[in-house]
Amino acid sequence: MNVNQSAPPVPPFGQPQPVYPGYHQSGYGGQPGSTAPPTSYGAYNGPVPGYQQTPPPGVSRAPPSSEAPPASTAQAPCGQAAYGQFGQGDVQNGPSSTVQMQRFPGSQPFGSVPLAPVVSQPAVLQPFGPPPTSAQVTAQLAGMQISGAVAPALPPVGLGYALPPGSQMTGPPGPPPPMHSSQQPGYQLQQNGSFGPARGPQPNYGSPYPGASTFGSQPGPPQPLPPKRLDPDAIPSPQLNELPPQQKTRHRIDPDAIPSPIQVIEDDRNNRGSEPFVTGVRGQVPPLVTTNFLVKDQGNASPRYIRCTSYNIPCTSDMAKQAQVPLAAVIKPLARLPPEEASPYVVDHGESGPLRCNRCKAYMCPFMQFIEGGRRFQCCFCSCINDVPPQYFQHLDHTGKRVDAYDRPELSLGSYEFLATVDYCKNNKFPSPPAFIFMIDVSYNAIRSGLVRLLCEELKSLLDFLPREGGAEESAIRVGFVTYNKVLHFYNVKSSLAQPQMMVVSDVADMFVPLLDGFLVNVSESRAVITSLLDQIPEMFADTRETETVFAPVIQAGMEALKAAECAGKLFLFHTSLPIAEAPGKLKNRDDRKLINTDKEKTLFQPQTGAYQTLAKECVAQGCCVDLFLFPNQYVDVATLSVVPQLTGGSVYKYACFQVENDQERFLSDLRRDVQKVVGFDAVMRVRTSTGIRAVDFFGAFYMSNTTDVELAGLDGDKTVTVEFKHDDRLNEESGALLQCALLYTSCAGQRRLRIHNLALNCCTQLADLYRNCETDTLINYMAKFAYRGVLNSPVKTVRDTLITQCAQILACYRKNCASPSSAGQLILPECMKLLPVYLNCVLKSDVLQPGAEVTTDDRAYVRQLVTSMDVAETNVFFYPRLLPLTKSPIESATEPPAVRASEERLSNGDIYLLENGLNLFLWVGASVQQGVVQSLFSVSSFSQITSGLSVLPVLDNPLSKKVRGLIDSLRAQRSRYMKLIVVKQEDKLEMLFKHFLVEDKSLSGGASYVDFLCHMHKEIRQLLS
């Protein structure tokens, strides 16, 4: 049972609780005072006898899970299988950006580098290895030392990669290097989970590098050689005369000798995909986002909610500055969980509300220390000693733990929810259920493309699937409808009416809502009138000649309607064109590609007027979230139109050159998902930290009116907030560092709740510990968001250079302080960061930072804002797409085929491949593919008869066709946006689009190949070290 079922009553509406500061106080609510009325608490593992009161009106106690309503796909009319996220036009404009995580089985290989015992970690045996350790990747870069003798001499050698200093790498191919050290006999699983002999980070490193003395580890006894990650003999080098003759034949770097994303993903899958990730141990690095794993909450938040750039952070800011590794957490407070994992329990503390620290307002959590026999507790964040309210008192066991610790989610779990009291509500009133307002552009373009008819038809059935909570029979969400072009039309759809009534507001400069009663209605009560309205709208405007639209007044109207109804909610805007009609927020076409690569390029990403920020601020204050569906035929200034969605926690979808026949499935699929997804409204998020660090910067779709509170008019399960931390004091290894993310929000049913996520991290005095507990995917997520925000204020080139410099500094610091001595010609990468160069290169050559000729300004603005709220899995596949060969594995195999590296070299012209990045989906057909395969998939007899650009595969009754279509469905199901399929034939014109996503290759827009970038990075590192 869950707590909800046995929850005590909440205070009646409006009952003032003087001891609690209200909603507007700093901190989300008040702190419970010692005078709080005694309350009993239901244990989450069972109802407490005696609590049978029914909740007060308006407060429904839903089950802890807030599952999405049944997918409408089954009911909604579906089109053919394949409409991707992007129309072909979009693709031509370049890759776009969203990606949902793919869960590859895989994991990071555990470092081959012998690791030192990590004393600061709790001595709890982890189920699997800790973080990928700091195995190093050694590469001999060009010009340098090539001989294989070098690497083995280094104790903690990771992978060796030789890159000619000059850059062009030459060298023998050599056998593919073993990527794993696990075969190395004799290394025990370390306490921290890493493999390798126990020793200090750099035990053998007798003499620290100048300037690094602070961080050097103690020299230890000589250690056995670590497993070689790469055979140095296989490393190409320019000094050909040193090589055996047979090695001189190759004149480029062997791509197999540089770190492979595919290998890292596969290894993590194999190593970490089979066991659940148990969160009881502080500072554990979770499996990669590409690994499919289950999570058991034993006191720290699941990595589905929080991922960090490092799980072991430097004790001092000097160390942090030296390493340059950003300390950041990517937080997805309302992340959806797989069915096997339970949603957070909802704890109800009745009228007294959640227990908090009196000083810092942190919420009760497993890390609070109970003392004095349980009568007081010491805050784990600020050390303040607090009294335990009598009703919360419990005895301690001999270890000092409360005897009821495991009966209370807030004392034993990393994530849980509290029912909020009225003090956490606006104006000290419990909220009304939210409303959805559908605002439909009915100008000429919208009518002509068939959009309006399609949308109205879809809404008739979709309205049955508004988000519900728990077992609620119907959604509490009310709906309203507006259509618009240069003027706005409001509709009265009150259930008592025989027909809907339209009210026109033509004074868009001073928007008001012409009706209150009958505008927002319950779907089931007003169904007949709503259906009638949706039938009539396409007819009413069928002959429209109006091409001009307004935009800001539409949002203003929706927001005013919510304000009048005193509720939060979401506006769904369906819009087609640049709003040039005379009205507030009127825009002009200011697209100018000539600005690219100039100092003024940043203006392309900035809104052209401040009016939208002002509007967004008002929306946030009202809890009005805006989701924008764009259907542009030309430039619409996405940078400006997306301001309000961005600042209100909303989403933007773009369907360039929308045509019903080509794009309906993609649009409807996105719409259904968007309308049905569970959303928290009128939310405020605060991240508290233990003494020594604090949150200093935030990235995502939200608004901030002060430096600590992230305000989200709406927050759904796809959105993340990336938070950066900085030191403000010294941390200590023993106590570690704590994060607590508290999200106050209104549920779909109108219930006010607090969701709490806690995470404990380790702290280190040795840089090596930092480097072996990093997560590169999260680092890339942070760096991409940092860079994508940077383009608003700095020239793109500056942003790119900053990223490169930071990456070089990170790697140089490792080399200087953590790696064993070796020749400067070797590129040595920390095991956990060996993919940093390849992934960073993908960010650098992405359309926002290095656009190709075919990428439009709107596409860049669109991608920029998409990436801003992506989670780690989404950025991972977005920047490094997944390329799956289809005919290599047996047809019977039920699992996804293993991916190959995103490079043209990996394509065989006798095979077929799927490529996806979360937004785009291609099926590439090699020119020499067997005729039988062509027949089975396309129902034509030869390669030449395959239609290039096809977006739907024929439904054929044979194993290959079923397998490929099944795989496409499965890929789509993993992503938050529908990916439209595009069939590309080898050597065909469309292949250019496809090749844009082969990110290890040199790009047409000038982006470096992986190999070239690695050489460049090595050069940068050497410069920093010299």
Name the site residues for Zn ion (rule: CB under 5 A): 357, 359-360, 362, 379, 381-382, 384
**Which lies closer to Zn ion via its Cβ, residue 382 or residue 956?**
382
Least spacing, CB of residue 358 vs Zn ion, in Å: 7
Residue 294 DSSP SS3 = coil
**Which lies closer to Zn ion via its Cβ, residue 330 or residue 355?**
355
- By C-alpha distance, which of 752, 29, 744 is closest to 352? 29
Beta strand 346-347 with 328-331: parallel, antiparallel or unpaired? unpaired
**Which lies closer to Zn ion via its Cβ, residue 306 or residue 379?**
379
**Which lies closer to Zn ion via its Cβ, residue 309 or residue 386?**
386
Least spacing, CB of residue 359 vs Zn ion, in Å: 5
d(CA 867, CA 872) in angstroms, rounded, equals 10
Per the CB < 8 A criterion, the answer to whether 359 and 349 are in contact is no
Least spacing, CB of residue 361 vs Zn ion, in Å: 7
**Which lies closer to Zn ion via its Cβ, residue 379 or residue 840?**
379
Least spacing, CB of residue 362 vs Zn ion, in Å: 5
Least spacing, CB of residue 410 vs Zn ion, in Å: 15
**Distance from the first to the final alpha carbon of the chain:** 64
* DSSP one-letter string for 272-288: HSSS-EETTSTTPPPPP
Residues facing 1015 on adjacent strands: none
Here the tokens at position 4 are 């909800």
**Which lies closer to Zn ion via its Cβ, residue 359 or residue 1002?**
359
Q: Where are the alpha helices (DSSP H) in 135-233?
A: 150-153
3-class secondary structure per residue, 859-872: HHHHHHHHHHCCCH
**Which lies closer to Zn ion via its Cβ, residue 357 or residue 626?**
357
**Which lies closer to Zn ion via its Cβ, residue 228 or residue 361?**
361
d(CA 198, CA 156) in angstroms, rounded, equals 12
d(CA 413, CA 298) in angstroms, rounded, equals 5
d(CA 563, CA 575) in angstroms, rounded, equals 23
Least spacing, CB of residue 736 vs Zn ion, in Å: 16
d(CA 851, CA 591) in angstroms, rounded, equals 15
Beta strand 912-916 with 376-378: parallel, antiparallel or unpaired? unpaired
* DSSP one-letter string for 318-372: HHHHHH----EEEE-TT----TTSPPPPEE--GGG-S-B-TTT-PBP-TT-EEEG
For residue 52, the Cα-to-chain-centroid distance in whole angstroms is 40
Residues facing 563 on adjacent strands: none
**Which lies closer to Zn ion via its Cβ, residue 328 or residue 357?**
357
Per the CB < 8 A criterion, the answer to whether 459 and 76 are in contact is no
Here the tokens at position 634 are 């030309």
- By C-alpha distance, which of 607, 615, 612, 617 is closest to 704? 617
Least spacing, CB of residue 365 vs Zn ion, in Å: 11
d(CA 301, CA 296) in angstroms, rounded, equals 9
Identity at 480, one-letter amino acid code: G
Here the tokens at position 1013 are 């970038």
**Which lies closer to Zn ion via its Cβ, residue 356 or residue 985?**
356
Give burial (CB, 10 Å; 0-12/13-18/19+) of 188: exposed
d(CA 392, CA 349) in angstroms, rounded, equals 9
**Which lies closer to Zn ion via its Cβ, residue 170 or residue 690?**
690
**Which lies closer to Zn ion via its Cβ, residue 362 or residue 616?**
362
